[in-house]
Amino acid sequence: MPTRNLLWTSGWDSTFRLLQIILVEKENVQPIYVIDKTRRSLKVEMEGIKKIQEKIKELYPEAYQRILPVWYAEEDLTINKEIEESSKYINSLVRLGPQYSWLAQFCHNHNLSNIEISNDKNLRTDSLTYFLMTNFINADLTNTLNQEKYNKIAPVFKHFSFPVTMLSKRDMLDIAIKNKWENIMYLTWFCHKPRKNKACGKCTPCINVIKKQMGFRIPVVNRMKGYFKIYFSRKKSNRKLN
């Protein structure tokens, strides 16, 4: 039976993909969690992984057997020159989170390929997913300029596959409800700066959750903080344009 290698953070997208693998495709999955000790959400993410596993075991004991022990990778990662230069190039074109560089380095160090990374659908032309779809995943390599750009992007992303880029978070929710997975999905985590184990509402992942019509997952008071941040950010941008 094939085994899928999946970067799993207990987040919405990667948990959805894990459920797809074990419940729909009925294949084994090797979850990988690369530990970043500076990450404020480290504790709640690791607790989330355990809670999700327990819920899967309760509801789908047979499918639970398809989940291999989580590979908790903890190591010092020194970014090599090729990945560093590729990251700088990508950052000059679109915002690239720092985690992609050290995930690429981790894969390089362990000679890993086809590692599933879960980036949801995003049609905003300034988003990383849109950038990857147009310049890497679906790039027309018959064009010399496209090939050159692809080669510059590849050191960071060549280790990965992108199984959920055609699905939005709302699409995943609809599929989860249809398949009665929603109770598992609601155990997922996303906030980078939790307060008392609650989503802060103001960090980048929280703002993205609100923008993608998933704000119900954030406590009301913290959600309002997110709405205010979005409002004042737009107001500031409009002032610059004027």
Q: Select the highest-mean-pLDDT range: 1-5, 93-97, 231-235.
A: 93-97
- Give residue 2's Cα distance to chain centre: 23
Angle of helix 99-109 relative to helix 144-157, nearest 10 degrees, comes to 80
The answer on pLDDT for 94 being more than 80 is yes
Reported as a pLDDT band with limits 50, 70 and 90, residue 77 is confident
The answer on pLDDT for 242 being more than 60 is no
End-to-end Cα, the chain, rounded Å: 59
pTM for the full model?
Answer: 0.85
The encoded tokens of residue 33 equal 């969690």
Tens of pLDDT, residue by residue over 155-167, are 999 999 999 999 9
Contact call for residues 89 and 81 (beta carbons, < 8 A): no
Phi, psi of 32 (to 5 degrees): -125, 125
Tens of pLDDT, residue by residue over 206-228, are 888 888 777 887 888 888 887 87
Q: Write the single-letter amino acid at 152.
A: K
Q: Residue holding tokens 């032309």?
A: 125
The answer on pLDDT for 235 being more than 70 is no
